[in-house]
Amino acid sequence: MFLSPATVATIGLTCKTFIKLGFCSVSVSGFENLRTALESDERNNGRGIVTVSNHISTLDDPLAWGILPARYYFKSRLTRWTLGASDIMFTNPIFSTFFRYGQVLETFRGKGIYQPAVETAISKLNQGDWIHLFGEGKVNQSNTYTIGEDGRARLPRFKWGIGRIISSTLTPPVVIPMWITGFDRLMPEGRGFPYKYFPRPGARLSVTFGEPITIQKTIDDILYRHSNHHAESKEEDTLHNIELDRTLRTEITAMVHRAVEALGRSVSGNNLAKDPR
């Protein structure tokens, strides 16, 4: 369908123009990690790509993708699919059409991890596509982060849908943690009407891609543990499978959370909020 590629290309080029015209500045680190995954032949064999990042403003997506090479915008295999909340992005027929053409899967809050958008994301990964996820499931700017007993800021808990999507693919996807900064200064939360709809010029943004996470070893370890436990306990297969699915999604979600948070500390320090210098 022509309209979807045209929509994605228009959005991507608009975001790139926004950056190039000096409304904000952006630094990029580790892009080679994403480029290598996107241009890998393994995608033709059903190995998808999952990027997971913190979520600090309503402009994180699509503006972060203004850093992609312009040629990427014209190939759907080189642009992301993502999940978007129905009550925010699909509120009327015009918005719904726009976001669907923009490769956004409509997600319903409170419907859990077995809803159609999650199943579609898994299906697309099995086709070698790229899915981008915001682990927290909503915007959380750094002033809302809690402080742990060690005095370090903590990223809010990630949604279990992360682990469900990653663990349900036929071939474990390439999982790349991301960390973005400055977008919360571009679009601060809490501003009144009409200012909340307009970005503040002059923000300094950064987009960092970490090293891919080794997912297969984690899956193998979980399967081995549960196989031994099942042999010893002789519990029913149905109960065993339910517990296995729960363990896979919770441990993989926690693993991805740790990777994103660790990347955030390497960029922004222990408070997860310091501007890049």
Looking at residue 236, what is its pLDDT?
Answer: 56
- pLDDT 10s digits, 34-43: 999 999 999 9
Give domain status of residue 273, yes or no.
no
In this structure, which amino acid lies at residue 105?
L
Give domain status of residue 63, yes or no.
yes
At 134, which CATH number? 3.40.1130
Give domain status of residue 159, yes or no.
yes
pTM greater than the 0.85 cutoff: yes
**What contacts 105, CB < 8 A, 6 or more positions away?**
81, 82, 83, 84, 117, 120, 121
Give domain status of residue 274, yes or no.
no
Q: Are 120 and 105 in contact (CB under 8 A)?
A: yes
Give domain status of residue 275, yes or no.
no
Residues 71-92 have a mean pLDDT of: 96
Q: What percent of the chain has pLDDT over 70?
A: 94
Count CA atoms within 13 Å of residue 73 on its CB side: 20
Provide the domain limits for residue 44. Answer: 3-268
Angstrom distances, CA of residue 251 to CA of 135, 218, 223, 255? 14, 8, 12, 6
Q: Are 257 and 53 in contact (CB under 8 A)?
A: no
Give domain status of residue 138, yes or no.
yes
Q: How many folded domains does the chain comprise? A: 1
DSSP-derived secondary structure for 218-234: HHHHHHHHHHHHHHHH-
- pLDDT 10s digits, 145-198: 999 999 999 999 999 999 999 999 999 999 999 999 999 999 998 888 887 888
Give domain status of residue 277, yes or no.
no
